[in-house]
Amino acid sequence: MAPRKKDNAAVATYGDHEVIVPENTLRKAVSTKPLDAGEDDDPVARAEQALAGLSGDFAAWMDSECERLDTARNAVVERGFNDDTKEALFHAAHDMKGQAATFGYPAVASAADSLCRLIEFTPDSDRIPIKLVDQHVDAVRAIYREYARSDAVDLAAQLTDRLRDVTDDFLMRENVGRPDVIEQIRRPSVVPE
């Protein structure tokens, strides 16, 4: 059947389904005109300049994110792991993992990643040792607090390598009989260093 238009989208109808291909408006937003030889309008440079202008706010952001992570940890300590506390802890760590490098604290990302893995790959959250959660949260906070030290990145790497080893050991024991999960645990981290 020939495609028909529906709200600027091509629609092809078949016996049991429709395929809708929306109009591609991205091309209208992108300039095809090359920069002139003397033109200084570089969008990447503008983005970097905007980030540099915000860099003073990055420490406040990290303070806030560390507090959010600590609050989530305290909720787990007080109420145990349930859907809400587990989700809050995971999202606090995940957000930190994803944004730490952008905000100038890339060494924090590995510790946050290890905490995410602990939560994600443990089949029964009630078996996660609170002490291991504490070690992750305290590591994130310590790495951030000591970031100005000249040896901070090396110390952070040593700390997060040890946390990752302990976490992987725990996860391997918890996932005996689950080869698909064990394979994922053994994969190297993709968090930038």
DSSP calls for the chain = ---EEETTEEEEE-SS-EEEE----HHHHS--SPPPTT----HHHHHHHHHHHHHHHHHHHHHHHHHHHHHHHHHHHHH-S-HHHHHHHHHHHHHHHHHTTTTT-HHHHHHHHHHHHHHHH-SSGGGS-HHHHHHHHHHHHHHHHTTTSTTHHHHHHHHHHHHHHHHHHHHHHHTTT-HHHHHHHHSPP-S--
pLDDT of residue 13: 79
pLDDT at 131 over 60: yes
Higher pLDDT, 9 or 181: 181
Cα(48)–Cα(55) distance, rounded to whole angstroms? 10
pLDDT at 177 over 90: yes
pLDDT at 39 over 70: no
Cα(184)–Cα(153) distance, rounded to whole angstroms? 26
CB neighbours of residue 85 within 10 Å: 19
**Per-residue pLDDT reduced to its tens digit, 81-122:** 999 999 999 999 999 999 888 888 899 999 999 999 999 999
Nearest to 89 by CA among 59, 61, 57, 125: 125
pLDDT category of residue 187 using cuts at 50, 70 and 90: confident
Between 33-37, 41-45, 64-68, 162-166, the lowest mean confidence (pLDDT) is in: 33-37
* Mean pLDDT within 173-185: 93
**CATH ID of 57-186, from 1.10.150.120, 3.90.1640.10, 1.20.120.160, 1.10.8.60:** 1.20.120.160
